[in-house]
């Protein structure tokens, strides 16, 4: 099973049929779904909920999907702690010209912790620039 970081774009698109990436997300998860173990953060989940435009049914479907993925050991949700804040602050300042949002910073921080650099993201430009603390590049598998 391939470990992959999950950014908000493909996840939100999966649950929003009006999203321009919806068909691509559906196809990607149909083809890859069982072969992937997704790793994401609560900050990404929060961003997805925002992107789903406060549609209670769609947001509920997304939360149910997260729960099912976690129970099936296909999804891990990671939480930041107060002790992580200095590293996030340093990273966000480093990439201030992008600028790096908290969800992206949480994923780069997660990559620093678990070594995973494969990612699914619509945010190609930023994740082409971001590097881990060990200067490893991210590989976007959402093609």
- Label residue 135 left, alpha or beta by phi (over 0 means left) and psi (-120 to 50 means alpha): left
Band (26; pLDDT cuts 50, 70, 90): very high
Q: What is the pLDDT of residue 99?
A: 85
30-42 pLDDT, tens digit each: 998 689 999 999 9
Nearest to 18 by CA among 57, 61, 52: 52
Q: What is the mean pLDDT of the chain?
A: 95
What are the extents of the domains in the chain? 2-140
Q: What is the pLDDT of residue 78?
A: 96
Measured at the CA of 98, the angle between CA 143 and CA 113, to 5 degrees, comes to: 70
Say which CATH topology domain 2-140 has: Rossmann fold (3.40.50)
Is it the case that residue 121 has pLDDT exceeding 90?
A: yes
Band (94; pLDDT cuts 50, 70, 90): very high
Q: What is the pLDDT of residue 92?
A: 96
Helix (H, G, I), strand (E, B) or coil at 78: strand
| DSSP 8-state symbol, 54 | T
Q: What is the pLDDT of residue 124?
A: 87
């Amino acid at each position: 099973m391939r470990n992959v970081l999950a950014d908000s774009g493909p996840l939100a698109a999966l649950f929003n049929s009006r999203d321009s990436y919806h068909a691509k997300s559906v196809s990607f998860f149909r083809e890859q779904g069982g072969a992937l173990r997704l790793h994401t953060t609560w900050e990404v989940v929060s961003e997805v909920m925002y992107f789903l435009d406060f549609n209670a049914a769609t947001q509920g479907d997304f939360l149910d999907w997260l729960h099912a993925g976690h129970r099936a050991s296909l999804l891990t949700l990671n939480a930041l702690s107060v002790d992580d804040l200095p590293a996030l602050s340093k990273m966000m300042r480093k990439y201030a010209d992008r600028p790096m949002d908290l969800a992206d910073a949480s994923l780069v921080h997660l990559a620093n912790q678990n070594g995973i650099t494969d990612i699914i993201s619509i945010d190609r430009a930023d994740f082409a620039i971001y590097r881990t603390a060990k200067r490893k590049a991210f590989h976007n598998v959402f093609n």
